[in-house]
Structure 1
Amino acid sequence: MVKFLHTADWQLGMTRHFLAGEAQARFDGARIDVIRRIGALAVDEGCGFVVVCGDVFESNQVNRQVILRAFEAMGATLQVTFYLLPGNHDPLDASSVYMSPTFTEHKPDNVVVLGDPSPVEAASGVELVPAPWFTKRPLTDLVADVCDLLEDGDAARIVVGHGAIDTLSPDKSNPALISLSTLEERIERGQIHYVALGDRHSTTDEGPTGRVWYSGAPEPTDYDEVRPGNVLVVELETDHIQVQERPIGDWRFLSDERELTSEEDLDNLEEWLDSVDSKERTIVKLALIGQISLAQKARLDRLLEHHSELLAALETWERRSELVVVPDDTDLDKLELSGFAREAAEDLSGLAESGEQAVVARDALALLHRLAGADS
């Protein structure tokens, strides 16, 4: 029996446009910290090695610091071997990060690049069957290609691959799709015994055998990931398999849709934002719909501004948001403006009702409402 960790899609060096300043630095640090936790978990579980199934790095152009910090993290548990598979983000092409001087000169002894499709002995009686990417756009099923080269043997074989399975992909014309039925057929006849996959960031068990898995990303990267933040602890024999999900990520992506029409709705939104734990490691995207007054818009702006300073990021889901601000006479009266200022506010109120300048006019009125301190 062999016990190992299955992970993928570290994407070290990843940036996110909605992270500003120190939030991006914390996001970067978390992706290195999780490597240390993976190594420590492998030791605690008695796992001899870790397979990282592609997209270890965000690209082949990551900076030197990313590589060195990754090595420092993997080198913290020298008794655990990390097998790194090149994927679509970091293929083993002429510009590969895996062939850079920084990588080759500083790579610790417990890091092995699976850069050749030949089987690798990971432990006594255990073979890794790697399917590395040599280009960003392969024209064949790379996993099927390496399995076609296998000869009969008694070893427990772990296929290490990356890419989309044909049953999950909407693009059926993609020649690089991994054939699930072919994998299951090989498993049934005992040619291979576990398929460790990367590319899908959600932890996913594919097929009826329980031997084809995506580990998911150990730290989440986007809102649409269903079960990210895990690694898999795999116990394998040729006639036995046990796969356990272990949560290991620290960050979260949350999305929420809110209809705002009253003070109570704003109260509920504020209560929900207040309830979010670990705000410094949480990214929130809000879809806001409905109709509110100018005073309510000013309150909403303050609320979002406050929580944007607490959260790692707070985004508005523009494509799904349709929030209308409708100023009324009460709003204008609260401003206690007179003369030219009152006339300007009334002009903005008229523009805010409709037309190309409506959104700009509503924002200007909301700002005026806040600056005037009408709702303080």
Structure 2
Amino acid sequence: MRFIHTADWQLGKPFGRFDADTRAALTEARFDAIDAIGRAAVEQGAGHVLVAGDVFDTEGPDDRTIVQAVTRMARHDCRWWLLPGNHDFARNGGLWDRVRRRGAGNVTVLAEARPHEIEDGAWLLPAPLIHRHTLDDPTQAFERMETPGARLRIGVGHGSIRDFGTQGEAKNLIAPDRARRSNLDYLALGDWHGMLTVDARTWYSGTPETDRFGRDEPGHCLVVDAQPGAAPVVTPLRTGRFQWLTRDWTVADAVGFSALCGDLLAGCEPAATLLQLSLAGIVPLTDRVAMLRRIEDDLMHQLRHLDVRDADVVARPSEDDLAALSTEGMLGRAGAMLRERIEANGPDAQRARRALERLFVEALREETLAGENAA
């Protein structure tokens, strides 16, 4: 039997830290991932899609989010099985009743812990969450589920096999040998947003559209070939549009920085890339200014989103830089005062360096404007 395992769609996620255009693009990409999964199911000959929890980001999404989800699933020739997770847990009169009212014939909500025979002899064992957090193993009920004539037992749950630290859930802990204990041929899990193998029969699919920094890979779903008495064959399939990259660069000059930028842009699709960039190093002041210009005038416009952290870049003015500020007037006097504080290496020396850098930028701007006016 071939099916698709996916999880953690987080539909309706607000992405509040981004500008309006980026928020809209990220929101739409999560809906588009449903179509990517549906197309994959048809192309791969998978009749069922198991969604292992957190279909929605909250238990109270707006109507558009629900309608988009249901209508997009409805237009693909496969069966969708939706498990309530910790973000969208099952409760009477809540979210899942709203989903059912949309009436898509190929969408089933797994709001009760009871097995479903989804094909002849192939049983699906769900472990829905009815609270956001539970102290019990939500998949323990598998041991009590009867599956007469089963040739395949497939579990679907949502929780943590182990403590994933600050990026995972501390509750809803699942026994690491759940597949063995409950005689499962495959255990489809959600909660961890990156693809992860626990053992040959237990997998996290990760989210189909990456939603945070720290994971360079785009989102995936898993195509699973399960057969009685043998380990399943699991094949990752890309579904995500966006990449969320994290880079830490140590720079020495503008030439090296430009080369790193070129390599980055050549190795990704810039318009579909969000970058969190941390810079460190000691560079000449003119190079620091050139780097800032490359960021503000080029990199920021090519990428979908850019977050630069450059507090650890120390700009040291060269003798030529200092001479450029040794002029008459206000800029010259300010530059001389800041150089004195830097050379004294007192408690405000670092602040003086930053101020001198800014002053140098302003001086260059004055020169540029003067040249443009003269032309």
**TM bracket (short chain):** 0.7 to 0.9
Structure 2 distance, partners of 1:327, 1:336, is 12
Structure 2 distance, partners of 1:182, 1:153, is 20
1:239 is the counterpart of 2:254: no
Candidates 251, 255, 268, aligned match of 2:242: 251
Q: Tell me the number of residue pairs that the alignment of Structure 1 and Structure 2 aligns.
A: 362
Structure 2 distance, partners of 1:126, 1:358, is 71
CA apart distance, 1:19:
2.6
Given the superposition, is the C-alpha separation of residues 337 and 26 from structure 1 closer, same or farther in structure 2, using an over 3 Å criterion?
farther
**Residues 62-141 of structure 1: matches in 2 within 5 Å?**
62-77=61-76, 79-93=77-91, 96-100=94-98, 103-141=99-137
**TM-score, normalised to structure 1's length?**
0.87
**What's the secondary structure of 1:213's corresponding residue?**
strand
Q: Which amino acid aligns with 1:84?
A: L
Q: Which amino acid aligns with 1:249?
A: G
**What's the secondary structure of 2:75's corresponding residue?**
helix
Q: Which amino acid aligns with 1:108?
A: A
1:230–1:245 CA contact under 8 A, matched in 2: yes
**Residues 71-220 of structure 1: matches in 2 within 5 Å?**
71-77=70-76, 79-93=77-91, 96-100=94-98, 103-144=99-140, 146-151=141-146, 153-155=148-150, 156-166=152-162, 169=164, 176-186=172-182, 191-207=183-199, 210-220=200-210
CA apart distance, 1:27:
1.2
Structure 1 distance, partners of 2:107, 2:61, is 18
Given the superposition, is the C-alpha separation of residues 165 and 291 from structure 1 closer, same or farther in structure 2, using an over 3 Å criterion?
same
CA apart distance, 1:177:
1.2
Candidates 273, 276, 282, aligned match of 2:273: 282
**What's the secondary structure of 2:225's corresponding residue?**
strand
Structure 2 distance, partners of 1:299, 1:273, is 18
Alignment match, 1:310: 302
Structure 2 distance, partners of 1:256, 1:368, is 29
CA apart distance, 1:339:
0.8
Identical-residue share of aligned pairs (%): 28
Structure 2 distance, partners of 1:90, 1:173, is 14
Alignment match, 1:364: 358
Structure 2 distance, partners of 1:359, 1:126, is 69
**What's the secondary structure of 1:179's corresponding residue?**
coil
**What's the secondary structure of 1:72's corresponding residue?**
helix
Given the superposition, is the C-alpha separation of residues 10 and 174 from structure 1 closer, same or farther in structure 2, using an over 3 Å criterion?
closer
**What's the secondary structure of 2:139's corresponding residue?**
helix
1:338 is the counterpart of 2:328: yes
CA apart distance, 1:113:
1.0
**What's the secondary structure of 1:90's corresponding residue?**
coil
Deviates more, 1:298-307 or 1:350-359: 350-359
RMSD: 2.8
Unaligned runs of 5+ in 2: none
Alignment match, 1:50: 49
2:123–2:147 CA contact under 8 A, matched in 1: no
CA apart distance, 1:82:
1.0
Q: Which amino acid aligns with 1:161?
A: G
Unaligned runs of 5+ in 1: none
Runs of 4+ in 1 over 4 A off after TM superposition: 170-175, 348-354, 373-376
Given the superposition, is the C-alpha separation of residues 141 and 358 from structure 1 closer, same or farther in structure 2, using an over 3 Å criterion?
farther
CA apart distance, 1:370:
4.8
1:351–1:357 CA contact under 8 A, matched in 2: no
Q: Which amino acid aligns with 2:359?
A: L
Structure 2 distance, partners of 1:41, 1:358, is 58
CA apart distance, 1:40:
1.0
Structure 1 distance, partners of 2:187, 2:60, is 29
**What's the secondary structure of 1:341's corresponding residue?**
helix
Structure 1 distance, partners of 2:362, 2:169, is 55
Structure 2 distance, partners of 1:62, 1:299, is 45
**TM-score, normalised to structure 2's length?**
0.87
